[in-house]
A and B are shown apart, each in its own frame.
Chain A
Amino acid sequence: MAEKTINITVAGIGGQGVLKFTDILADLLFHAGFDVKKSEVHGMSQRGGSVSSEVRYGSSVASPMIPEGESDYLVVLENSQLEINRHKLREGGILITPDDVPLDKLTNPKALNTMLLGALAAHLGLDPELWIRELKAFLPEKLHALNVEMFQLGYQYRK
């Protein structure tokens, strides 16, 4: 189990599924046996504004908020949100944007978050089966096939 706390920031625009992304991520890490904390701000962010959510995991996590400039991963769901969040990434941290996934194969724009989740998953080194199980647990059955496909496309791209 990771001694050091790993920090992941996910950013986008209200309605893109940022919070769904981190819900799935946090729940997966919990089921994988880590201590997990997830943080976000609700309320006015629902009105089309910038949304960001943070997940921290390790053997014991204290603050639910990632210290500024200490994100190991920054996932951005829309490139317009990159510059306002870039400072959150630590030096040498990994940035994942829509440019890092095969957008030409994205058959439904609503599944962009799942594709980027796949791209992130490729870095975290956990059993891919865990992710598939988690996606299925979170999403209604009619969305399973699409999301599993989008996840795998993101997972395999530039691996």
Chain B
Amino acid sequence: MTQRLLASGNEAIAMAAKDAGVRLGAGYPGTPSSEILETFSALGGHAEWAPNEKTALEVAIGAAFANGRAIATMKHVGLNVAADPLFTIAYSGTPGGLVIVSADDPGMASSQNEQDNRRYAVAAGVPMLEPSDSQEAYDFTRRAFEISEAYRRPVLLRVTTRVCHSKCVLERREAVEPKSVKFDKDPKSNVMIPAYARIAHRKLRAALHELEALNEKGEFTRKIAGSPELGIITSGISFQHVRDAAPEASILKLGMTYPLPMETIRAFAASVKRCVVVEEGDPVLADAIRAAGIAVEDKAEMYRFGELNVNRVRRLLAGDLSPEPAPAPGKPPQLCVGCPHRRAYEVLRDMKCIVSGDIGCYTLGVLPPFEAVDTCVCMGASITVGLGLRHVLPEAEARRVVSVIGDSTFLHTGINGIVEMVYNRPPTGHVVIILDNSITAMTGLQEHPGTGRLLDHTPAPTPVSLEKILHGIGVDHVDVCDPTLDKASFEKILSERLASNDCSVIICRRPCILGAVKAKSYEGKK
């Protein structure tokens, strides 16, 4: 029985996971991926927010070792955190289907970089599927589990913002029953000591050859006949823009973009007079195709930056290198009126601190009227980057260095930084401020281990306590305060800690104003 509905790409992936009998979904929230697990949970799937993406992928790997189908979801930069398990599970594979969703953010609507994670498929040697709309997001996800099991390979499902968040018409098909779970002892396949990993690596490369042959058969490829004058090779959301921008062109639209169906591509390129590769981000397809000795035109460098759209594809095809009109400015995001972070940043600004910042709403403290964030690299880096500053700066300046991190980010990868701080103490000590608004706010108010609630907002068995972690690691002082309510106390504690040579953490605790409303609505939920 099929069902027709309007759904976003993220909802489509969630429905496909449910219909494919997925036993477990794990991830860490991150735009544009967050709605996948939320929807999967709402559909009755077993979904969890892990403290970070590495943890999430490893939990999913465990479920897949038990023959269950599992999915791990994350944004592009999240896969950096999960890269360690990725590269080795690519060798061993799992008996249960394992799908890793990487949701990339070309144009950086809400990210610190616009890395192109198609590179990960090549680097790790995992097959990659790239849907271009919700229907393909659904179909490819379901197929990804079958491929994962047939070839014993994790599959990378690579989506981008516009696929994740655009709603389009979707046909949802009949579900299959979840496979029975069991654990078969098989250390040669599952334990990657060098002796077994050497064999596994050869198996992986052999499997990629088989997958290439599968891809040549064409089930993931769409050919649209058009003029022999212009042929376009494309994938993902770029395909949709191409259809509007060049309705007359012949199109080769690729669905499995690693390993590539090079003979199909060669034949297509030979069938047209001019062959252009249209892809968002890095020239991943173009480089691979040219390396195979096939003459194709690449986009100009200026189109590597940002998202593509219909206008840009028109320009790209016309070889238009004139400067593009600047986007309309719009009203930039800002810390909400009533946001508890505001008062903390006023103090940091007025005390002229050097602030090593982190990823979250509170990164917005870099903008006026605060202008109180001085560095921001990646999740968890506030603490460690702050320590580096403290180690090398002259004492007077070192004393002004403060690391600022959110509660969810602290649990993600901030804990390691606290261990580093206690172990390799700078001569002036250090001060870390945890802006604890008791939610993962920036990505849309998701739960985390410290909120006391699970992904579906039901009570967590054991809420994780920031204070206990900090005391357990051995920091000298842990203070809890609320600058919104009592600014003077916060200023006093901060001044004292900055003047000392101790390693201190100050927790500024006050719920997010948006999160507090939500939290109230969860009360009594079982």
Contact = CB atoms under 8 A, between A and B. Distances in A.
B500 to A, nearest CB: 35
B309 A49 contact: no
Contacts of A64: 133, 162, 166-168, 237, 240
B413 interface: no
Q: Name the interface size band of chain A.
A: 35 or more
B336 interface: yes
Interface in A32-55: 35-50
Contacts of B336: 47-48
B138 to A, nearest CB: 15
A13 interface: yes
16 contacts: A30-B169, A37-B167, A38-B6, A39-B166, A41-B110, A41-B161, A41-B165, A42-B31, A42-B165, A43-B31, A45-B333, A49-B333, A63-B237, A63-B309, A64-B240, A65-B309
A26 interface: yes
Contact of B310 (A23, A41, A65): A65
Nearest to A38: B167
Nearest to A23: B167
Contacts of B168: 35-38, 61, 64
B241 A65 contact: yes
Contact of A47 (B32, B161, B241, B335): B335
A62 interface: yes
Contacts of B264: none
Interface stretch (B116-124, B203-211, B323-331): B323-331
B6 A42 contact: no
Interface string A71-112: 000000000110111010000000000000000000000000
Contacts of A14: 333
Interface of A: 13-14, 23, 26-27, 30, 35-50, 61-65, 67-68, 80-81, 83-85, 87
Contacts of A45: 109-110, 333
B330 A49 contact: yes
Contacts of B329: 84
Interface in B237-267: 237, 240-241, 243-244
**Interchain residue pairs A-B with the least CB separation, the first 8:** A43-B110, A50-B330, A64-B166, A62-B243, A47-B333, A43-B31, A49-B333, A84-B328
Contacts, number: 114
A39 to B, nearest CB: 5
Given A40-B165, A42-B32, A68-B311, A50 B110 contact: no
A71 to B, nearest CB: 12
B333 A46 contact: yes
B331 A49 contact: yes
A27 B6 contact: yes
A45 B330 CA distance: 10
Nearest to B6: A30
A47 B364 contact: yes
A87 B162 contact: no
B113 interface: no
A143 B460 CA distance: 33
Interface centre among A38, A48, A61, A63 (most CB of B within 10 A): A63
Contacts of B309: 63, 65, 67-68
A69 to B, nearest CB: 8
A47 to B, nearest CB: 4
A39 B333 CA distance: 19
B444 interface: yes
A124 to B, nearest CB: 17
B516 to A, nearest CB: 16
Contacts of A85: 328
A46 B244 CA distance: 30
Contacts of A13: 331
Interface centre among A14, A44, A68, A85 (most CB of B within 10 A): A44
A32 to B, nearest CB: 12
B443 interface: yes
Nearest to A60: B243
B442 interface: yes
Nearest to B107: A41
B194 interface: no
B334 interface: yes
A36 B244 contact: no
A48 B334 contact: yes
B334 A63 contact: no
A64 B137 CA distance: 15
Contacts of A43: 31-32, 109-110, 442-443
B109 A50 contact: no
Contacts of B165: 39-42
A36 to B, nearest CB: 6
A63 B328 contact: no
B472 interface: no
B113 to A, nearest CB: 14
A59 B15 CA distance: 25
A43 B444 CA distance: 7
Given A62-B243, A67-B310, 6 more contacts: A44-B442, A46-B333, A47-B333, A48-B334, A50-B330, A67-B309
A47 B444 contact: no
B166 A37 contact: yes
Contacts of B240: 62-64
Given A39-B162, A42-B31, A84 B330 contact: yes
Interface string B12-38: 000000000000000000011000000
Contacts of B133: 37, 64
A44 B110 contact: yes
Contacts of A27: 6
A41 B107 CA distance: 11
A48 B335 CA distance: 8
Contacts of B237: 63-64
A63 B331 CA distance: 26
Given A41-B109, A67-B311, A26 B167 contact: yes
Given A38-B166, A63-B240, A65-B162, A44 B6 contact: no
